[in-house]
A and B are shown apart, each in its own frame.
Chain A
Amino acid sequence: MSDLRDLYQDVILEHSKAPRNYRELPAANHKAEGFNPLCGDRFTVYVALEGDAIRDISFQGSGCAISKASASMMTQIVKGKTMAEAEKIFGRFHEMVTGHAPAGGSESELGKLTVFSGVSEFPVRVKCATLAWHTLHAALEGKQDPVSTE
């Protein structure tokens, strides 16, 4: 049986209560909206891209503890990274929360994001954990339409 504490780790609860980079970003030149129609979660991710680098990033919106904490920690980890680096982290993160992380793979790239590994025991919550990342991906690609988890 999966333990609730595996999902709701203190770091996650703390980020959900006091999300980092939770604001509009006047300097943003990329922006996308993400929406989970199943539960009504909705986020906007703002990115200030300088060349290939994510100079600044922020988000706003409403969602559950998992989606909000994930968005918050995502903004921390990708700030200063290149687009390719951010996409690579998303790939690794996605593998981890869906339980498809390669055996013996290094978790160093994910850093603090490993607190979300418990999500893989709660399949219906995978979309919560990845919503902000899908939205970031859409923002970087310059997509105009809101992305949906469905």
Chain B
Amino acid sequence: MTSAARKLDGEKRPVSATGRFDVERVRADFPILHQKVHGHPLVYLDNAATSQKPRAVIDAITRYYEGSNANVHRGVHFLSENATEEYEAARLTVQEFLNAAHSREIVFVRGTTEGINLVAQTFGRAQVQAGDEVLITAMEHHSNIVPWQILCDEKRARLRVASINDQGELLLDEFANLLGPRTKLAAVTHVSNALGTINPLKRMIEMAHSRNVPVLVDGAQAVPHMKVDVQDLDCDFYTFSGHKVYGPTGIGVLYGKATLLHAMPPYQSGGDMISSVTFEKTTYNQLPYKFEAGTPDIAGVIGLGAALQYVDGLGMENIGAHEHDLLAYATEAVSAIPGVRLIGTAKEKASVLSFVIEDIHPHDIGTILDQQGIAIRTGHHCSQPVMERFGVPATARASFAVYNTRKEVDALVRGIEKVRQVFA
């Protein structure tokens, strides 16, 4: 069903004739970047919160609403067939993007949060019983803590937490030791949103599987920055949000191994997720539709498909290399500023530079940077346990995307100098 245009592995564009990554060509694809904020050129460094959208994504959504809008999987009419074809083509794009074995293993959800809640409410409620354990890590986002807390409270099960060191790296031995006979699931982040730490996921999954423990991966902060191959990782569930990978808000993906998804009870119920309904009995639809009740976010799915194609067009290796260069450049420059302390100094990091400045609250840093057109995130980043671990109430966080430049890092450094002047 996928037309050639929708296939990934298209021509990689942004590498210029000289073989260098051409960030200016990438920037030209993002309409929002070319504006002034408080009289200064916008420097958008809040990408871990959400990324900006390329023209290709905006156009795909507009094209859908202007040319193909209809409900999916229902009508026999022309528009409905078009909409269904585009919707399912996006599913194949996601399948290819994650290298999933089957498209029926790709479930569309609202985002990472819903993906985790889906697994907690279906797989979790079916598998976790009194006295069982769910294992997470100390660097999880609230969305990979609270659903398990609620489940464990309800089931009188126990939530176990593997610690991290002062660099923000997972203590692997402790993680391995906490995988016990009562562990029913390990739910771990691929990349920490507050620290930038990249977890040694493949090794962790091997450890868990050697104890017969399935693994759910929160991939929200990983998918925009690195190639994810769910078959190579052998993870049981992998979930991410579209909006952090240049796609629209309100759409995300839950990948699950077909055998697990088959065995799970449905999540929400209603239209589309059934194959037949009588007042006596309902037969659920096949995968993945069993988990997609109601009219889905069709435009969002099509936009997400366009985003993943865009990313593939740039080439994940190019994106990763460019961002790695920015992070290294920024780490050196920002840590050289007197009074600055980096929070999260793991050896393996992606895209995130979290920091505090002595005697200056992150909130004040954020306001003063904003006045210079620089957008960063300040606060606890929905990771209060991480803040507690490092003894800070909050941090300032700059996070990078493919369209950021070294010049913007320079602006950030000048901005931080200005913060220090105001508080001098």
Contacts and interface: CB of A to CB of B under 8 A. Distances in A.
Interface of A: 1-2, 4, 7-8, 13, 17, 38-42, 62-66, 68, 122, 124-125, 128
A122 B364 CA distance: 12
Contact of A8 (B38, B359, B362, B422): B422
B393 A66 contact: no
B388 to A, nearest CB: 10
Most chain A CB inside 10 Å of its own CB: which residue of B38, B359, B371, B384: B371
Contact of A128 (B39, B363, B422, B423): B363
B38 A1 contact: yes
Contact of B423 (A41, A65, A66): A65
Contacts of A1: 38-39
B422 A41 contact: no
Contacts of A13: 422-423
Interface of B: 38-39, 359-364, 367-368, 371, 378-380, 384, 387, 393-394, 422-423
Contacts of A42: 393
Nearest to B361: A64
B424 to A, nearest CB: 9
Most chain A CB inside 10 Å of its own CB: which residue of B359, B371, B380, B393: B393
Contacts of B378: 39
* Smallest CB-CB A-B distances: 6 pairs: A64-B361, A64-B363, A40-B393, A40-B394, A39-B363, A40-B380
Given A1-B39, A13-B423, A66 B364 contact: yes
Given A4-B422, A8-B422, A65-B423, A41 B359 contact: no
A110 B309 CA distance: 58
27 contacts: A2-B371, A4-B371, A8-B368, A13-B422, A13-B423, A17-B359, A38-B379, A39-B363, A39-B378, A39-B393, A40-B380, A40-B393, A40-B394, A41-B363, A41-B393, A62-B393, A63-B393, A64-B362, A64-B364, A65-B361, A65-B364, A66-B363, A66-B364, A68-B361, A122-B367, A124-B367, A125-B363
Contacts of B422: 4, 8, 13
A125 B387 contact: no
Q: Identify whether the interface residues of B are mostly helix, strand, loop, or mixed.
A: mixed
A66 to B, nearest CB: 7
Most chain B CB inside 10 Å of its own CB: which residue of A1, A17, A65, A66: A65
B47 to A, nearest CB: 20
Contacts of A124: 367
Nearest to A61: B393
Contacts of B363: 39, 41, 63-64, 66, 125, 128
Most chain A CB inside 10 Å of its own CB: which residue of B39, B367, B379: B367
Contacts of B394: 39-40
Given A13-B422, A65-B364, A65-B423, 15 more contacts: A4-B422, A7-B367, A39-B362, A39-B379, A39-B380, A39-B393, A39-B394, A40-B384, A40-B394, A41-B363, A63-B393, A64-B361, A64-B364, A122-B367, A125-B367
Most chain A CB inside 10 Å of its own CB: which residue of B39, B361, B378: B361
B266 to A, nearest CB: 33
Most chain A CB inside 10 Å of its own CB: which residue of B38, B368, B379: B379
A17 B424 CA distance: 10
Nearest to A17: B359
A1 B371 CA distance: 9
Contacts of B384: 40
Contacts of A64: 361-364
Nearest to B387: A40
A70 B68 CA distance: 55
